[in-house]
Chains A and B, each alone.
Chain A
Amino acid sequence: MNGSESRQDDGPEGGTNAEPRKIMGEPTGIGRFGDFGGLFVPETLVPALQELDAAFHEAWADRSFRDELDDLLREYAGRPSPLTECQRLGEQLGIRLFLKREDLNHTGSHKINNVLGQALLAKRMGKSRLLAETGAGQHGVATATAAALLDMECLVYMGEVDMARQELNVFRMRLLGAEVTPAVSGSRTLKDAVNEAMRDWVSTVEYSHYCLGSVMGPHPYPYMVREFHRVIGDEAAAQFAERVGGSDANCAELSGLPDVVVACVGGGSNAAGIFSGFAEHPSVELIGVEPAGGAAIGNGVPGIVHGMLSYLKQDEFGQVQEAESISAGLDYPGVGPEHSHLSDIGRARYESVTDDEVIDAFVLLSRTEGIIPALESAHAIAWVAREHEQLKGRSVIVNLSGRGDKDVAQMMDIMGSTLDGHTSAGERPADHSSADANTTGERK
């Protein structure tokens, strides 16, 4: 579509002579990352997606659009986000640990990067209404925020189950002037919210823009959303090089590159954003962390849902299976198609952690660094904590995709409100603890 096959992803930053990116560049054909991706949508939506593809490419190559977005990201969202070195936790785990602080963005997560980009684009395309799906509510809050800022109408679909576990974010969205509609079909979580948003869009495509919240869905979303999050990886790479010093790319010590980059993966947008800053450097290990109960790459096989061909948790007949995770934002049975590709070609590795490991990591980061992570982001911390032996002596960047304020009520239910400051997470009531949870050694 749109003859975009040979277009280079250089954008204003890259200059016109920039080499095309060999990895995490433009998709080929009709939104393909290797075998994955595509445009599996009802006929009604195809022209709108083609129009969006063309509009995005045009805007992304337009200096004034990029300047406007950069201004918003800086003056409104608070970018650049810091790269914080975790002295205490790093020492405890025997690694150099850095956090890319997306939790410090306005609205509390990385989601705002993509939403500001899409909202500006929608406005430029003459759309007056933003549609969104949300799991944890972070993408919904970010979309409601952008809609308020840019004077647009906003409707957010949210699974009924998620509305209950993320009550505060439901209120936030409404406070911001958005309408929140429960998705009451199927598992009543994120995948069903996506279905509802797509159904709405089929009916209102003339004046609505579907502001999809991750690197998933039909082309051009996986590509476009990753580009809007590329800023995470670009900033992190520059910050790390500056912090650690050295610019000798041939010497590991002085390469200015981290050894490992870790991010949680639901649809995969925060991971795609930070990976994109390092993917072309083969020495940097890329680790995506899926929830054990929703590991699309870990436990799925290729399938087609929500417009894309990608790894998918499904039964033998192709019925989509429900994901089950402590974090609403990762409760998704699929994954963005580029991650399926990165996994297949071995450029990134996808691992999973259990809910119990996540609960421990949530407490661990809070107590060692004074940073309460989102439950989603705690998945990445949990993997580092569990695998610290194999990471010994190495430098690790974790994308801290969001802050944990939204999860505090849920954690209070799980851990009990009488939580004792001196009790280790391993001593929680039996039904929520696990034998292997306490892998990170002594805790105060």
Chain B
Amino acid sequence: MNALNITDGGGSSSGLSLSVALGSHIDAGGKCFVPYLTGGLPGWQTGVAAAAEAGAQAVEIGIPFSDPVMDGPVIQASSQMALDGGATPVSILDEARSIDVGIPLAVMTYANLVYRFGYERFAHALVSSGISGAILPDIPLEEVGPWADAADGAGVETVMLAAPTADDDRLTRVVERARGFVYTVGLLGITGERESLAATAKVIARRVKALTDKPVLVGVGVSTPAQAVEVCEVADGVVVGSAIVRRIIETGSQEAGGELVAEFVTALARG
């Protein structure tokens, strides 16, 4: 495996924390907007900068995996494009070091890439690339122990997913283990755009909010500013992936993603 040079200090965004950045925005009465961008697409770092410029509170960077079971067609396609272009976890973490945007970054990827890298080594690589958090959708509570130990040790915030299928006992354990924010899955399904907000979205957001003071962001199936505003009647914010990634792929422009981010941010500020 190519060695990623792990040096102290590292990325310029280091020191930021998801929980602090999102928490203070929420405390000030704001709703959080966190876009997902596929890492490794040409010029992807520009997209992160554009999203920050447009007012996002944090950015989720996808590290593409060959078999993304939680992802729908848009993110599957963007992942494949990045992989075809030669993107690897090492190249993306390396490129992330040059990002200096003043908001916290989190990676979203799958268990095997992290397992292969080595849990501790990966956690330290994130820190040295200036990345604050990690979202690993195929590592549920039952399996999170070894990774969580490594992440906690390195100071990486492990975002946990909360799903509508969980009972309150399980949700309680999920939110307890969550760092940064609670990624609340808005519907039964995978990432992708939906015509309207699922009825489950506000229900699960309300259930999670009742159990925790941590930031509660709803993702999966939030595709338009109107849907974001609707779910934020309950939630503290939203994560939006497919709609933004599709805009970037269709226009071939990372900046166009930033323009869409601005639309979400404006709508959420207006309420």
Contacts and interface: CB of A to CB of B under 8 A. Distances in A.
Interface of A: 1, 30, 38-48, 185-186, 191-192, 195, 198-199, 202-206, 302-307, 309, 312, 314, 316-320
A309 B116 CA distance: 11
Contacts of A304: 110-112, 115, 138
B70 A202 contact: yes
Contacts of B76: 185
B115 A39 contact: no
A43 B162 contact: yes
Q: Which of A45, A202, A206 has the most CB of B within 10 A?
A: A202
B185 A44 contact: yes
Nearest to A44: B163
A186 B90 CA distance: 22
Contacts of B189: 202-203
B20 interface: no
B188 A317 contact: no
Contact of B142 (A1, A302, A318, A319): A1
Contacts of B68: 195
Contact of A206 (B1, B160, B188): B188
Interface size band for B: 35 or more
A191 B112 contact: no
Interface stretch (B22-30, B43-51, B165-173): B165-173
Interface in B121-140: 137-140
Contacts of A198: 69
A203 B164 CA distance: 11
B101 interface: no
Contacts of B115: 302-304, 309, 318
A237 B226 CA distance: 65
A43 B112 contact: no
B195 interface: no
B80 A303 contact: no
Contact of B138 (A42, A199, A319): A42
Interface of B: 1-2, 65-70, 72, 76, 80, 83, 88-90, 110-117, 137-143, 160-167, 170, 174, 185, 188-190
A316 B111 contact: no
A320 B112 contact: yes
A48 B163 CA distance: 12
Given A191-B67, A304-B110, A304-B138, 11 more contacts: A40-B111, A40-B140, A40-B143, A44-B161, A47-B166, A192-B67, A199-B69, A204-B188, A317-B1, A319-B66, A320-B112
Contact of A43 (B67, B88, B89, B163): B163
Given A39-B142, A186-B67, A319-B66, A44 B1 contact: no
A256 B65 CA distance: 50
Contacts of B110: 304
5 contacts: A43-B160, A304-B115, A314-B112, A316-B116, A318-B115
Q: Which of A38, A42, A47, A305 has the most CB of B within 10 A?
A: A42
Nearest to B190: A199
Contacts of B70: 42, 199, 202
Nearest to B162: A43
A329 to B, nearest CB: 19
A441 B174 CA distance: 63
Nearest to A301: B116
Contacts of B66: 186, 319-320
Contact of B174 (A43, A45, A204, A303): A43
Contacts of B69: 41-42, 195, 198-199, 202, 306
B67 A39 contact: no
B152 to A, nearest CB: 19
Contacts of A41: 69, 138, 140
B195 to A, nearest CB: 15
Q: Which of B114, B139, B162 has the most CB of A within 10 A?
A: B139
Nearest to A45: B165
B189 to A, nearest CB: 4
B140 A42 contact: yes
Contacts of B161: 42-44
Given A44-B165, A185-B76, A203-B190, A317 B89 contact: yes
Contacts of B111: 40, 304
Contacts of A30: 142-143
B81 to A, nearest CB: 12
Contact of A318 (B116, B143, B164, B174): B116
Contacts of B160: 43
